[in-house]
Amino acid sequence: MCGIVAYIGHQAAYSIILKGLKRLEYRGYDSSGIALYGDQVTSFKRKGRVAELEAWTDPITQTATVGIGHTRWATHGEPSDANAHPHKSNSGKLTLVHNGIIENYASLKQELIQKGYTFESETDTEVLVNFIEEIQKNNQSSLEEAMRIALKRVVGAYVIIVIEEGFPNRLIAARKGSPLVIGVGEGEHFLASDASPIIEYTKQVIYVNDYELAIISPDEIILKNLGNEPITPYIQQLDMELAQIEKGGYDHFMLKEIFDQPASLTDCLRGRLDSENMTLTLAGVEQHLSVFAQAKRIVIVACGTSWHAGLVAEYMIETLCRIPVEVEYASEFRYRNPVIGPGDIILAISQSGETADTLVAIERAKEQGAFIFGVVNAVGSSIARLSHAGAYTHAGPEIGVASTKAFTAQLTVLAMMAMKIGKAKGTLAEAEYNRLLGELALIPEKVKTTLATHEAIKEVAKHYADARDFLFLGRGYNFPVALEGALKLKEISYIHAEGYPAAEMKHGPIALVDENLPVLFIATKDAYYEKIVSNIQEIKARKGKVIAVISEGDTLIRSMADHVMVVPEVDELLAPLISVLPTQLLSYYIGVERGLDVDKPRNLAKSVTVE
Q: Read off the pLDDT of residues 188-241 as tens digits, 9 standing for 90 and up.
A: 999 999 888 998 899 999 999 889 999 999 999 999 988 889 999 889 888 766
Would you say residue 65 has pLDDT above 60? yes
Range of lowest pLDDT (20-24, 352-356, 529-533):
352-356
540 compared with 419, residue with greater pLDDT: 419
**Helix (H) / strand (E) containing 298:** strand 297-302
- Same domain flag for 182 and 73: yes
pLDDT at 34: 96
- Flag whether 292 is in a domain: yes
Range of lowest pLDDT (241-250, 257-266, 301-310, 554-563):
241-250
| Burial of residue 249 (number of CB atoms within 10 Å: 0-12, 13-18, 19+) | exposed
- Flag whether 611 is in a domain: no
- Same domain flag for 521 and 578: yes
pLDDT at 419: 96
- Flag whether 515 is in a domain: yes
Range of lowest pLDDT (244-253, 457-466, 484-493):
244-253
Domain boundary among 441, 465, 480: 441
Q: Does residue 606 have an active-site annotation?
A: yes
- Same domain flag for 217 and 272: no
- Can you give the residue range of the structural domain that contains 172? 3-243
Quick check: 336 and 289 in contact, CB under 8 A?
no
Would you say residue 600 has pLDDT above 70? yes
- Same domain flag for 196 and 328: no
Of 2, 268, 303, 321, the catalytic one is 2
- Same domain flag for 215 and 310: no
Of 176, 423, 525, 606, the catalytic one is 606
CATH number, domain of 95, equals 3.60.20.10
Quick check: 50 and 22 in contact, CB under 8 A?
yes
- Flag whether 604 is in a domain: no
For 412, residues 6+ apart whose C-beta sits below 8 A from its C-beta are 265, 268, 269, 393, 440, 443, 577
pLDDT at 605: 62
Domain boundary among 441, 461, 486: 441
- Same domain flag for 457 and 429: no
Would you say residue 50 has pLDDT above 80? yes
230 compared with 513, residue with greater pLDDT: 230
CA distance 292 to 381: 23
pLDDT at 194: 86
- Same domain flag for 578 and 473: yes
Would you say residue 476 has pLDDT above 70? yes
Q: Assign 245 a pLDDT band (cuts: 50, 70, 90).
A: low
- Residue 34: phi and psi, rounded to 5, are -135, 140
Q: Write down the mean pLDDT value for the chain.
A: 91
pLDDT at 243: 61
- Flag whether 300 is in a domain: yes
503 compared with 90, residue with greater pLDDT: 90
Range of lowest pLDDT (85-94, 415-424, 511-520):
511-520
- Flag whether 474 is in a domain: yes
- Same domain flag for 139 and 267: no
* Residues in the chain, overall count: 611
- Note the pLDDT tens digit of each residue in 416-434: 999 999 999 999 999 999 9
- Flag whether 607 is in a domain: no
- Same domain flag for 251 and 239: no
CA distance 151 to 227: 11
- Flag whether 168 is in a domain: yes
CA distance 168 to 12: 14
Q: Please state the rounded mean pLDDT for residues 585-590.
A: 97
- Note the pLDDT tens digit of each residue in 159-186: 999 999 999 999 999 998 788 999 999 9
CATH number, domain of 461, equals 3.40.50.10490
Q: E strands within 330-478?
A: 344-350, 371-376, 389-392, 469-474
36 compared with 3, residue with greater pLDDT: 36
Domain boundary among 441, 476, 492: 441
| Of 198, 590, 263, 565, the residue nearest 402 (C-alpha) | 590
- Same domain flag for 213 and 271: no
Angstrom CA distances, 447 to 267, 459, 485, stand at: 14, 20, 17
Range of lowest pLDDT (9-23, 216-230, 455-469, 496-510):
496-510
Evaluate the CA torsion angle 113, 119, 123, 125 in order and state its sign: negative
Q: Please state the rounded mean pLDDT for residues 34-44.
A: 94
Name the pairing type of β-strands 496-501 and 220-225: unpaired
Domain total for the chain? 3
pLDDT at 606: 54
For 86, residues 6+ apart whose C-beta sits below 8 A from its C-beta are 33, 34, 35, 43, 45, 68, 69, 70, 95, 96, 97
Q: Assign 608 a pLDDT band (cuts: 50, 70, 90).
A: low
pLDDT at 156: 85
Number of H helices, E strands in the chain: 21, 27
pLDDT at 556: 95
One-letter amino acid identity for 242? L
- Same domain flag for 144 and 292: no
Quick check: 32 and 53 in contact, CB under 8 A?
yes
- Same domain flag for 461 and 407: no
Angstrom CA distances, 586 to 183, 327, 502, stand at: 38, 27, 20
CA distance 244 to 167: 37
Q: Assign 15 a pLDDT band (cuts: 50, 70, 90).
A: very high
